[in-house]
A and B are shown apart, each in its own frame.
Chain A
Amino acid sequence: MRETSAVAEASTSLVIVILVGALATYMWRALGVALSGRIDPDGPVVRWVACVAYAVLAALIARMILLPVGSLADVPVTSRLLAAGIALGAFYLTRRHLPLGVAAGGGALTLLSYWT
């Protein structure tokens, strides 16, 4: 159990972190309004940064599966990888049905978590 003041402190610092993330998001939206009609949304710089964005997201996903924070780390890594594989299999077998694929992944991890 954490002290109340420690929880309040963590909340304050998380508010700051959230607002920093919000700023990092809104700046692109505002810049998009300002630059609309003046830049090519398919130009090489845009395509390069889009590639970097995809790679950051892929790195985040891989990290959340292989090296998770919180209690997910108590589930063996083989179970997490297997559940991700089951999600992929369900997704492609249902002709890329997103909700079914996601549900299969969460369900598989729950079952594997009971089993191990």
Chain B
Amino acid sequence: MTAEAGSPPDYARACASRRAAFVAGMRDSIGSPALVLGASFVGFGSLLYELDIGLWLGYLSIVTTWALPAQVATVEMFARGAPLVAVFVAVALINFRFLPMTVAMLPLLRQPGQRARRLYLLAHFIAVTTWVLVMLRGPEMPPEQRRPYFWGGVAMVIPAALAGTTIGYVAAGAVPPQVTHGLIFLNPVFFMLVLLVDLRQRARAYSLLLGAALGPLLHDLTPTWGLLMAGLIGGTAAFLADRVLSARDVRRG
């Protein structure tokens, strides 16, 4: 989630060509972004092993979805026997963020002379890691080099995710069950802490609190739809509460 890229290179010079931009993208992703991302997939691999799901299905999930929280949710809901429509709605809600993320990033990448259609392929590989890098470094480099820069990052983080998943899968089968418990536990802990990194927005903080409180309660009521109801009720209540409080803040000046 962090975008520390070591010493800041001079992008106008470092990216003298499209190939140099690709290499710069690889270099900026190979350190802590790829490491943190790869490590975050270890828990996913362990969860697959625990649920007796083949490693290749984890790889399939990575290349077709490429969004870890939704991948974990998909596997978790499958293990609970949730209906397809519940999986679709839950993943659609969890991954809605890709709409505003893509909308915000595309003006940097849309250039005359570069094929617009290829952006539909590129968008499939947007993840928080590469998104942060392009938003941060993209404006500093010539427009035609931003896409190769992005692809250079992708070329690093996808193998990191595949490697992390493999490590988690193999480790879960090789260590004592107590350690496997710890490995599977990495998933909820990782998401919990990632969400807490950015709590300054009141609406988000309320959404987290209400969702966490309503989730288990509504799951007891209806295991199939509890997750979605918790999201819709908790998220909407948080959004409305924030609007009311913001309006009050404005009136008070």
- Chain A contact residues, CB within 8 Å of chain B: 2, 7, 11, 13-33, 35-37, 39, 41-42, 46-72, 75, 80, 83-84, 87-88, 91, 96, 98-99, 101-102, 105-110, 113-114
Asked whether A17 lies within 8 Å of B102 as measured between CB atoms, the reply is no
Q: Given A7-B52, A64-B187, 6 other A-B contacts at CB below 8 A?
A: A18-B64, A29-B123, A51-B235, A53-B94, A88-B193, A98-B1
Q: Contact at A69–B102, with CB atoms within 8 Å?
A: no
Is B8 part of the contact surface with A, judged by Cβ < 8 Å?
no
Interface of B (DSSP majority class): helix
**A36 near B103 (CB under 8 angstroms)?**
yes
Q: Known contacts A56-B93, A61-B191; is A105 also within 8 Å of B99 by CB?
A: no
Given A25-B95, A67-B216, A54 and B50 contact (CB-CB distance below 8 Å): no
- A54 partner, pick from B75, B123, B235, beta carbons under 8 A: B235
Specify which chain B residues have a CB less than 8 angstroms from the CB of A50 in the assembled complex: 96-97, 100, 203-204
Residue of A nearest to B194 (CB): A98
A20-B87, A33-B102, A101-B189 known; A51 and B215 CB under 8 Å?
no
| Interface 1/0 per residue, B17-41 and A, CB below 8 Å | 0000000000000000000100110
Q: Is chain A's binding surface mostly helix, strand, loop or mixed?
A: helix
B139 within 8 A of A: no
When C-beta atoms are compared, the residue in chain B nearest to A106 turns out to be B182
Instruction: Report the contact-size class of chain B (Cβ under 8 Å from the partner).
Output: 35 or more
Q: Which residues of B contact A (CB under 8 A)?
A: 1-2, 36, 39-40, 43, 47, 50-54, 57, 60-61, 64-67, 69-80, 84, 87-104, 106-107, 110, 119-120, 123-124, 126, 177-197, 203-204, 206-216, 218-219, 226-228, 230-236, 238-239, 242
Beyond A41-B103, A109-B185, whether A28 also contacts B95 by CB under 8 A is yes
Contacts of A102 in B (CB 8 A): 39-40, 186, 189-190, 193
Instruction: Report if A18-B106 is in contact (Cβ < 8 Å); known contacts: A26-B124, A98-B193, A98-B194.
Output: no
Most buried by A among B208, B209, B232: B208
Q: What are 11 A-to-B residue pairs whose CB atoms are below 8 Å?
A: A21-B70, A51-B242, A52-B236, A53-B93, A53-B94, A55-B207, A56-B231, A58-B211, A60-B94, A65-B188, A98-B197
